[in-house]
Amino acid sequence: MLRLGHRKNRDKRVSSHVALTARAFGAMGIYFDVADERLFKNIEDVVERWGGKFFVKHVGSWRKIVKEFDGLKVHLTMYGIPLPEKIGEIKKARKILVIVGSEKVPADVFKLADLNISIGNQPHSEVSALAVFLDRVLDGKVFSMEFENAKIRIVPSERGKRVAELGKEVE
């Protein structure tokens, strides 16, 4: 994942949701082009408690990451080609870098990306766009994800909250 244009004050909640959605739906990690240590720490705390190997990295130059990425670069934008038209090509890729914006993205993203893909051609959110993209491309992996070394795990239940913590079960 590459999240462009995080604005520390305005975007901290959405950026956090982008990262948590990426992690929960099967992405390996997230790059931010803006350093926000508090945000990074929050995401890392979630990984520490809930497990898995999700990485969070600040990149000095997002253009360098995009140019040097050795896989398929997919920019999610409402102006792009509808996902169903390109899903076959995307699923063949060994590695994918998914790029989402916050406000307006720099114009050259459209050229640097291999594909500009829309999740419907109406404006909505980077969180919803990412969730639909990952769900379709990874065929519902969100429902079978395993997070190794988790300190905490939810036990699905019809009602209430059941949480298992390091061997012991807490109601």
Contacts to ligand SAM from residues 129-158, by CB under 6 A = 129
3-state DSSP call for residue 120?
Answer: coil
Does 124 participate in binding ligand SAM (rule CB under 6 A)? yes
**Per-residue x/- track, 81-110, ligand SAM (CB under 6 A):** -------------------xxx-xx-----
Length, in residues, of the chain: 171
Phi, psi of 39 (to 5 degrees): -60, -45
User: Per rule CB under 6 A, is residue 125 in the interface with ligand SAM?
Assistant: yes
CA 106, distance to chain mean position in Å, is 19
Task: Kindly state whether residue 122 participates in binding ligand SAM, applying the rule CB under 6 A.
Answer: yes
User: Looking at the DSSP assignment, which residues form a beta bridge with residue 31?
Assistant: 2, 57
The correct pick among 67, 120, 162, 165 for binding ligand SAM (CB under 6 A) is 120
Give the count of alpha carbons within 13 A of 93, CB side only. Answer: 18
**What is the contact surface with ligand SAM in residues (CB under 6 A)?**
76-78, 100-102, 104-105, 118-120, 122-126, 129
